[in-house]
Amino acid sequence: MLTMRDVLRARRLIRDHLPPTPSWSYPLLDEAAGRHLVVKHENAQPTGAFKVRGALNLLAGLDEPVVTYSTGNHARAIAYAARAFGRHATVVMPEHAAELKVRAVEALGAAVVRHGANMGDAEAHAQTLPGRLVSPGDEPALIAGVATAYLELFERHPGLDTVVVPVGSGTGAAAAGLVAAAVAPGCRVIGVQSAAAPAAHDSWRAGHCVRRENRTRVDGLATGRGFEGPQALLRAHLADFVLVGDDEIDAARRLLARRAGTQAEGAGAAALAAVLARPDLMGRAVGVVVTGANATELELAR
């Protein structure tokens, strides 16, 4: 059972590696959303996404080689943390993974194995390789590390009444819920996923993990199944869960670029897309977590 004690321990550890990320507001974004937004810039991490927090926390507690599977940001986070602690990391990435994302992982010193048509194939192959297998979803240490972002957010902005978190495997939203319950109990946490890959959303609504077709073009939100560890926390702490379209997510990326001068990949813009799509669900002071910057060449062109 994960507790705030684990989160505070993660913060002490991560502090030696990463400064807190900025969180502030943009009047032109507030105008578009019709409410006060606080943007938390996890797109300013050295790996371009929040996952590096969890990876550092997990790898700090391991002293063996690790093997994992990912289309991008989890891979890069594990590679970054492996380098920081002098461990060997092997990452299985699906064959269609974007070239720049593969090179970003290799540039950090990890070994990349390209295998399979999708994440399921990559996972199956990773299970055959030597080393401690790291699941992108079912690792409490990842959630504890990621939770440090929400500790920073609530400490700096205690007046938030809603925080919106994009969901793939659900570690980020689970972490947000855990921290909100402890330090900002009046703040509701709302999850968002793409309607083209609703496995986490549907798992939360069903009350047990389900599989769903995964047709989104938004990498960080692309998952075909619910993950039990994060889902248990989501069931306990999530106030609501919203689905948005991939086109709405692209519109939110443009808005972040124009009105906040910041680059988000699709998953990183999903929280803003949810605020714009469902104003009825949002409060007056809303935390919007821009979880990542790592758009592909194709996404940037679009």
Ligand X SMILES: *Cc1c(COP(=O)(O)O)cnc(C)c1O
**Residues that bind ligand X in the complex, under the rule CB under 6 A:** 49, 51, 73, 166-172, 220, 265, 267-268, 291-292
Q: Which of 143, 127, 222 is nearest to 175 (CA)?
A: 143
- State the nearest-atom distance from the C-beta of 292 to ligand X, in Å: 2
- State the nearest-atom distance from the C-beta of 53 to ligand X, in Å: 11
- State the nearest-atom distance from the C-beta of 23 to ligand X, in Å: 16
Rounded CA gap, 270 and 100, in Å?
Answer: 22
- State the nearest-atom distance from the C-beta of 27 to ligand X, in Å: 25
Helices 140-156, 171-183: crossing angle, 10 deg rounding = 50
Q: Which is nearer to ligand X, 158 or 300 (CB)?
A: 300
Question: Which amino acid is it at 262?
Answer: T
Q: Which is nearer to ligand X, 254 or 284 (CB)?
A: 254
Four-point Cα dihedral 138, 140, 144, 150, nearest 10: 40
In 127-254, the DSSP E strands lie at: 132-134, 162-166, 188-194, 238-244
Q: Which is nearer to ligand X, 152 or 159 (CB)?
A: 152
- State the nearest-atom distance from the C-beta of 157 to ligand X, in Å: 20
Q: Which is nearer to ligand X, 58 or 159 (CB)?
A: 58
Contact 114, 97 (CB under 8 A): yes
With CB atoms as reference, the residue minimizing the distance to ligand X is 292
Residues paired with residue 242 on neighbouring β-strands, in sequence order = 192
Q: Which is nearer to ligand X, 154 or 204 (CB)?
A: 204
